[in-house]
Amino acid sequence: MTEKLPAVPASEITPHAVYLNRRALLRGGLVAAGAVATGVVYRALNGVEVVETTTRAIPDVAKPTAPGYRVPGEDVTSHAAITNYNTFYEFTTNKDGVARAAAGFKTDGWTVAVGGLVHAPRTFDLDAIRRVAAPEERVYRMRCVEAWSMVVPWVGYALRELLAQVRPMASAKYVAFETLFDPVRMPNQTSNALAWPYLEGLRLDEAMHPLTLLTTGLYGHDLPPQDGAPVRMIIPWKYGFKGIKSIVKITLVDQMPPTSWNRYGAAEYGFYANVNPDHAHPRWSQATEQRIGESGRRKTLMFNGYGPQVASLYAGMDLDVHY
């Protein structure tokens, strides 16, 4: 049985955005603030390194105005935080260390094979993926199961645009995704942190929803390695682990596919993983969250605030059972 990883303590979640500017932290006297002192002081005094990541600027990025594509009244999380606090176990289980561990990850010659129950299976190179639809910037809330959140300006287009290229069969009910398996380039794949390669899946109607984003960038630039380069999924009403990174394979199937975290602990990580403040994780509550860059906690919103757009997908389902 795979060894269980310890839960992330609140002291390791709450202060992250503050430590990104250690000098300002010390000047401002926040060291004395009890709500943030424990983790912040440790990181400030022990010099957690912020990795600066530069990637190609994506030309002609549109800013869509359709309802649900932007987060009104909320500040976007800083580029430094988004690129220096990451969950990407293929490189390391240390959220603060992914940027350093992934530095130098190359995506030359990358392809994504799309097949299964489709009429026109195809393997896309990166240029072909980028040509399927014009890139859009979508500012989405992102909620992670460990009770922290960000607001991220992702760049991509609706996954359904890519799926239209392969013409799903009527028998297709689900979409399965697979991450690159290459322990040389992703060194933590030699560990037993998870069963590799990383797998994820969606119901076909979820995959075809216009909010479901095939993502190739953030902040107007190509994805950096630590955020899932060169192509990943973003499903903003679900917990972050559903957003599979560094995708190499997409397969349409007629049965619910296996997913990595569900295989790891089915009682903790369900297939659907919809943000639901009323369904507690066995080891912590999901009722509130820590927004990276803020000192207090927020009430968690059902479907991460995207209920008006997606609640109809789950009409009649008990979301405490189908979690």
Q: Is residue 164 part of a domain?
A: yes
What are the residues facing 138 on neighbouring strands? Answer: 154
Q: How far apart are CA 104 and CA 26, in angstroms?
A: 32
Predicted pLDDT at 65: 85
Q: Is residue 153 part of a domain?
A: yes
CATH of the domain at 33: 3.90.420.10
Predicted pLDDT at 29: 32
Q: Is residue 141 part of a domain?
A: yes
Q: Is residue 32 over pLDDT 70?
A: no
Q: How far apart are CA 134 and CA 157, in angstroms?
A: 7
Per-residue pLDDT of 147-168, as tens digits, reads 999 999 999 999 999 999 999 9
Q: How far apart are CA 43 and CA 20, in angstroms?
A: 9
Q: Is residue 3 part of a domain?
A: no
Per-residue pLDDT of 102-122, as tens digits, reads 999 999 999 999 999 999 999
Domain range for 159 is 10-314
Torsion of CA 228, 82, 270, 268, to 10 degrees: 120
Q: Is residue 319 part of a domain?
A: no
Q: Is residue 196 part of a domain?
A: yes
Predicted pLDDT at 43: 44
Q: Quote the number of domains for the chain.
A: 1
Predicted pLDDT at 172: 98
Q: Is residue 320 part of a domain?
A: no
Q: Is residue 154 part of a domain?
A: yes
